[in-house]
A and B are shown apart, each in its own frame.
Chain A
Protein backbone atom coordinates (compact mmCIF):
# COMPACT_ATOMS: atom_id res chain seq x y z
CA UNK A 1 0.00 0.00 0.00
CA UNK A 2 1.40 3.45 -0.89
CA UNK A 3 2.27 5.95 1.84
CA UNK A 4 -0.46 8.31 0.69
CA UNK A 5 -3.08 5.56 1.07
CA UNK A 6 -1.74 4.64 4.52
CA UNK A 7 -1.92 8.33 5.45
CA UNK A 8 -5.51 8.61 4.27
CA UNK A 9 -6.43 5.43 6.11
CA UNK A 10 -4.77 6.39 9.41
CA UNK A 11 -6.27 9.87 9.51
CA UNK A 12 -9.57 9.19 7.79
CA UNK A 13 -11.54 10.25 10.87
CA UNK A 14 -10.01 13.72 10.93
CA UNK A 15 -9.61 14.12 7.19
CA UNK A 16 -13.31 13.54 6.65
CA UNK A 17 -14.03 16.71 8.59
CA UNK A 18 -11.10 19.01 8.06
CA UNK A 19 -7.87 19.15 6.13
CA UNK A 20 -5.72 21.99 4.94
CA UNK A 21 -3.89 21.88 1.61
CA UNK A 22 -1.04 24.20 0.81
CA UNK A 23 0.74 25.06 -2.42
CA UNK A 24 3.86 27.03 -3.23
CA UNK A 25 5.95 27.87 -6.25
CA UNK A 26 6.89 24.23 -6.84
CA UNK A 27 4.73 22.29 -9.27
CA UNK A 28 3.49 18.80 -8.40
CA UNK A 29 4.16 19.47 -4.73
CA UNK A 30 1.62 20.17 -2.04
CA UNK A 31 1.10 19.60 1.66
CA UNK A 32 -1.69 18.16 3.73
CA UNK A 33 -2.18 19.50 7.24
CA UNK A 34 -4.08 17.46 9.80
CA UNK A 35 -5.46 19.86 12.38
Chain B
Protein backbone atom coordinates (compact mmCIF):
# COMPACT_ATOMS: atom_id res chain seq x y z
CA UNK B 1 0.00 0.00 0.00
CA UNK B 2 1.36 3.38 -0.97
CA UNK B 3 1.05 6.75 0.73
CA UNK B 4 -1.99 7.74 -1.36
CA UNK B 5 -4.16 5.16 0.42
CA UNK B 6 -3.42 6.68 3.81
CA UNK B 7 -6.29 9.11 3.40
CA UNK B 8 -8.68 6.14 3.19
CA UNK B 9 -7.12 4.70 6.32
CA UNK B 10 -7.71 7.97 8.15
CA UNK B 11 -11.25 8.20 6.80
CA UNK B 12 -12.01 4.72 8.14
CA UNK B 13 -10.40 5.61 11.48
CA UNK B 14 -12.87 8.49 11.84
CA UNK B 15 -15.67 5.92 11.88
CA UNK B 16 -13.96 3.86 14.60
CA UNK B 17 -14.48 5.31 18.07
CA UNK B 18 -11.13 4.18 19.49
CA UNK B 19 -8.89 5.13 16.55
CA UNK B 20 -8.76 8.95 16.73
CA UNK B 21 -5.40 9.45 18.45
CA UNK B 22 -3.93 6.56 16.44
CA UNK B 23 -4.88 8.22 13.15
CA UNK B 24 -3.40 11.53 14.23
CA UNK B 25 -0.12 9.88 15.27
CA UNK B 26 0.33 7.75 12.16
CA UNK B 27 -0.29 10.76 9.93
CA UNK B 28 2.38 12.72 11.79
CA UNK B 29 4.77 9.79 11.49
CA UNK B 30 4.10 9.27 7.78
CA UNK B 31 4.57 12.96 6.95
CA UNK B 32 7.92 13.11 8.76
CA UNK B 33 9.46 9.73 7.92
CA UNK B 34 8.02 9.02 4.45
CA UNK B 35 7.75 5.23 4.77
CA UNK B 36 8.11 3.65 1.34
CA UNK B 37 5.48 0.97 1.93
CA UNK B 38 2.46 0.43 4.18
CA UNK B 39 0.33 -2.49 5.23
CA UNK B 40 -3.00 -1.82 6.91
CA UNK B 41 -4.58 -4.39 9.21
CA UNK B 42 -7.97 -4.48 10.84
CA UNK B 43 -8.78 -7.02 13.54
CA UNK B 44 -12.43 -8.01 13.53
CA UNK B 45 -14.78 -9.73 15.92
CA UNK B 46 -17.61 -10.69 13.61
CA UNK B 47 -18.15 -7.38 11.79
CA UNK B 48 -16.84 -5.06 14.51
CA UNK B 49 -13.25 -3.79 14.50
CA UNK B 50 -11.30 -4.61 17.66
CA UNK B 51 -7.94 -3.13 16.60
CA UNK B 52 -6.33 -1.29 13.72
CA UNK B 53 -2.65 -1.44 12.81
CA UNK B 54 -0.49 0.38 10.33
CA UNK B 55 2.77 -1.30 9.35
CA UNK B 56 5.30 1.15 7.90
CA UNK B 57 8.53 0.28 6.10
CA UNK B 58 11.43 2.62 6.79
CA UNK B 59 13.02 4.09 3.64
CA UNK B 60 16.30 2.82 5.11
CA UNK B 61 17.19 1.13 8.37
CA UNK B 62 17.43 3.82 11.09
CA UNK B 63 20.16 3.92 13.74
CA UNK B 64 19.00 3.85 17.35
CA UNK B 65 19.08 7.65 17.63
CA UNK B 66 17.22 8.06 14.32
CA UNK B 67 14.70 5.51 15.51
CA UNK B 68 14.16 7.28 18.85
CA UNK B 69 13.60 10.52 17.00
CA UNK B 70 11.16 8.85 14.61
CA UNK B 71 9.04 7.25 17.31
CA UNK B 72 8.84 10.48 19.28
CA UNK B 73 6.96 11.91 16.29
CA UNK B 74 4.23 9.31 16.70
CA UNK B 75 2.98 10.76 19.96
CA UNK B 76 1.37 8.30 22.32
CA UNK B 77 3.55 5.49 21.04
CA UNK B 78 6.81 4.48 22.67
CA UNK B 79 9.48 1.83 22.58
CA UNK B 80 10.72 0.17 25.77
CA UNK B 81 11.99 -2.96 24.10
CA UNK B 82 15.62 -3.82 23.31
CA UNK B 83 17.94 -1.37 21.58
CA UNK B 84 17.08 -1.71 17.85
CA UNK B 85 20.74 -1.48 16.82
CA UNK B 86 21.72 -4.26 19.22
CA UNK B 87 18.96 -6.46 17.79
CA UNK B 88 20.13 -5.61 14.28
CA UNK B 89 23.68 -6.59 15.23
CA UNK B 90 22.52 -9.92 16.66
CA UNK B 91 20.66 -10.70 13.44
CA UNK B 92 23.42 -9.45 11.16
CA UNK B 93 21.31 -6.66 9.65
CA UNK B 94 21.62 -2.88 9.63
CA UNK B 95 18.59 -2.16 11.79
CA UNK B 96 14.79 -2.36 11.88
CA UNK B 97 13.10 -2.48 8.48
CA UNK B 98 9.62 -1.65 9.69
CA UNK B 99 7.44 -0.54 12.55
CA UNK B 100 3.82 -1.22 13.43
CA UNK B 101 1.45 1.09 15.26
CA UNK B 102 -1.67 -0.54 16.74
CA UNK B 103 -4.59 0.67 18.78
CA UNK B 104 -7.05 -1.71 20.35
CA UNK B 105 -10.68 -1.15 21.27
CA UNK B 106 -9.50 -0.90 24.88
CA UNK B 107 -7.49 2.17 23.91
CA UNK B 108 -4.07 0.51 24.17
CA UNK B 109 -1.40 1.90 21.85
CA UNK B 110 1.10 -0.82 20.93
CA UNK B 111 4.35 -0.66 18.99
CA UNK B 112 6.19 -3.48 17.24
CA UNK B 113 9.47 -3.49 15.35
CA UNK B 114 10.35 -5.68 12.38
CA UNK B 115 13.69 -6.84 11.02
CA UNK B 116 14.31 -8.66 7.78
CA UNK B 117 16.98 -11.32 7.54
CA UNK B 118 18.10 -12.68 4.20
CA UNK B 119 20.04 -15.40 5.98
CA UNK B 120 19.22 -18.93 4.96
CA UNK B 121 17.11 -20.74 7.53
CA UNK B 122 19.75 -23.46 7.87
CA UNK B 123 22.10 -24.50 10.68
CA UNK B 124 24.02 -21.20 10.86
CA UNK B 125 20.71 -19.45 11.59
CA UNK B 126 20.61 -21.23 14.98
CA UNK B 127 23.60 -19.19 16.15
CA UNK B 128 21.91 -15.96 15.11
CA UNK B 129 18.73 -17.03 16.85
CA UNK B 130 20.57 -17.66 20.11
CA UNK B 131 22.26 -14.24 19.89
CA UNK B 132 18.93 -12.58 19.09
CA UNK B 133 17.17 -14.16 22.09
CA UNK B 134 20.08 -13.26 24.36
CA UNK B 135 19.79 -9.62 23.24
CA UNK B 136 16.09 -9.81 24.12
CA UNK B 137 17.15 -11.08 27.57
CA UNK B 138 15.00 -14.18 27.12
CA UNK B 139 15.90 -17.32 29.12
CA UNK B 140 18.66 -19.37 27.54
CA UNK B 141 16.51 -22.49 27.67
CA UNK B 142 13.98 -21.00 25.29
CA UNK B 143 16.38 -21.03 22.36
CA UNK B 144 16.35 -24.78 21.81
CA UNK B 145 12.54 -24.93 21.97
CA UNK B 146 12.11 -22.07 19.52
CA UNK B 147 14.79 -23.48 17.26
CA UNK B 148 12.97 -26.83 17.20
CA UNK B 149 9.69 -25.15 16.24
CA UNK B 150 11.25 -23.02 13.55
CA UNK B 151 13.17 -25.93 12.04
CA UNK B 152 9.83 -27.60 11.58
CA UNK B 153 8.13 -24.59 10.01
CA UNK B 154 10.77 -22.93 7.82
CA UNK B 155 11.23 -24.24 4.30
CA UNK B 156 14.69 -23.87 2.74
CA UNK B 157 15.15 -20.19 2.00
CA UNK B 158 15.60 -16.84 3.71
CA UNK B 159 14.37 -16.39 7.27
CA UNK B 160 12.50 -13.21 6.33
CA UNK B 161 10.67 -11.10 8.87
CA UNK B 162 11.30 -11.22 12.60
CA UNK B 163 9.22 -9.03 14.88
CA UNK B 164 9.35 -7.78 18.44
CA UNK B 165 6.50 -6.40 20.48
CA UNK B 166 7.26 -3.56 22.79
CA UNK B 167 7.98 -4.56 26.38
CA UNK B 168 9.54 -3.21 29.54
CA UNK B 169 13.10 -2.47 30.58
CA UNK B 170 14.53 -3.67 27.29
CA UNK B 171 12.69 -7.01 27.31
CA UNK B 172 10.14 -7.42 24.49
CA UNK B 173 6.66 -8.68 25.36
CA UNK B 174 6.96 -11.11 22.46
CA UNK B 175 9.25 -12.12 19.62
CA UNK B 176 7.59 -13.17 16.39
CA UNK B 177 8.59 -15.26 13.40
CA UNK B 178 6.73 -15.63 10.13
CA UNK B 179 7.89 -18.73 8.26
CA UNK B 180 6.54 -18.36 4.71
CA UNK B 181 4.74 -20.89 2.50
CA UNK B 182 4.29 -23.61 5.09
CA UNK B 183 2.34 -26.62 3.81
CA UNK B 184 -0.99 -27.10 5.57
CA UNK B 185 -0.08 -30.57 6.83
CA UNK B 186 3.08 -29.23 8.50
CA UNK B 187 1.16 -26.27 9.93
CA UNK B 188 -1.66 -28.29 11.45
CA UNK B 189 0.67 -30.98 12.82
CA UNK B 190 2.61 -28.20 14.49
CA UNK B 191 -0.53 -26.61 15.97
CA UNK B 192 -1.65 -29.96 17.37
CA UNK B 193 1.74 -30.44 18.99
CA UNK B 194 1.67 -27.05 20.72
CA UNK B 195 -1.74 -27.81 22.18
CA UNK B 196 -4.25 -26.11 19.88
CA UNK B 197 -7.64 -27.82 20.21
CA UNK B 198 -8.74 -30.20 17.50
CA UNK B 199 -11.97 -28.19 17.13
CA UNK B 200 -10.00 -25.05 16.30
CA UNK B 201 -7.69 -26.94 13.95
CA UNK B 202 -10.73 -28.34 12.15
CA UNK B 203 -12.17 -24.82 11.82
CA UNK B 204 -8.88 -23.59 10.38
CA UNK B 205 -8.83 -26.52 7.96
CA UNK B 206 -12.30 -25.47 6.78
CA UNK B 207 -11.07 -21.91 6.24
CA UNK B 208 -8.05 -23.14 4.29
CA UNK B 209 -10.27 -25.33 2.12
CA UNK B 210 -12.62 -22.40 1.50
CA UNK B 211 -9.66 -20.39 0.25
CA UNK B 212 -8.38 -23.34 -1.78
CA UNK B 213 -5.07 -22.99 0.01
CA UNK B 214 -2.47 -25.74 -0.04
CA UNK B 215 -0.15 -23.84 2.26
CA UNK B 216 -0.33 -20.85 4.56
CA UNK B 217 1.28 -17.70 3.24
CA UNK B 218 2.84 -17.24 6.67
CA UNK B 219 2.63 -19.36 9.79
CA UNK B 220 3.18 -16.66 12.40
CA UNK B 221 4.40 -17.93 15.76
CA UNK B 222 5.22 -15.86 18.79
CA UNK B 223 7.03 -16.39 22.04
CA UNK B 224 7.09 -14.49 25.30
CA UNK B 225 9.49 -14.73 28.21
CA UNK B 226 7.62 -17.85 29.36
CA UNK B 227 7.66 -19.62 26.00
CA UNK B 228 5.20 -20.20 23.14
CA UNK B 229 2.44 -17.59 23.33
CA UNK B 230 0.39 -17.87 20.17
CA UNK B 231 0.08 -18.29 16.44
CA UNK B 232 -1.55 -16.62 13.49
CA UNK B 233 -2.08 -18.17 10.07
CA UNK B 234 -2.04 -15.82 7.08
CA UNK B 235 -3.70 -16.52 3.77
CA UNK B 236 -3.03 -14.15 0.88
CA UNK B 237 -5.96 -14.11 -1.54
CA UNK B 238 -6.67 -12.66 -4.93
CA UNK B 239 -10.46 -12.23 -4.80
CA UNK B 240 -10.70 -11.30 -8.46
CA UNK B 241 -9.79 -14.91 -9.23
CA UNK B 242 -12.30 -16.39 -6.79
CA UNK B 243 -15.51 -17.61 -8.38
CA UNK B 244 -17.77 -16.33 -5.59
CA UNK B 245 -15.76 -13.92 -3.46
CA UNK B 246 -18.69 -12.45 -1.55
CA UNK B 247 -20.07 -15.79 -0.48
CA UNK B 248 -16.56 -16.87 0.44
CA UNK B 249 -16.06 -13.89 2.73
CA UNK B 250 -19.35 -14.37 4.55
CA UNK B 251 -18.52 -18.01 5.15
CA UNK B 252 -15.11 -17.08 6.50
CA UNK B 253 -16.51 -14.47 8.84
CA UNK B 254 -18.70 -17.06 10.47
CA UNK B 255 -15.79 -19.22 11.64
Contacts and interface: CB of A to CB of B under 8 A. Distances in A.
A32 B239 contact: no
Interface string B1-28: 1000100100110011000000000000
Given A3-B15, A10-B8, A22 B235 contact: yes
A2 B45 CA distance: 13
B234 A32 contact: no
Interface residues of B, number: 41
Contacts of A29: 43-45, 50
Contacts of B40: 11, 33-34
Per DSSP, chain A at the interface is mixed
A31 B204 CA distance: 14
Contacts of B236: 18-20, 35
Interface of A: 2-4, 6-7, 10-11, 14-25, 27-35
22 contacts: A3-B15, A3-B16, A3-B47, A3-B49, A4-B44, A4-B47, A4-B48, A14-B1, A16-B239, A19-B237, A19-B239, A21-B207, A21-B211, A21-B237, A23-B233, A24-B232, A25-B231, A27-B200, A27-B203, A30-B43, A31-B43, A34-B41
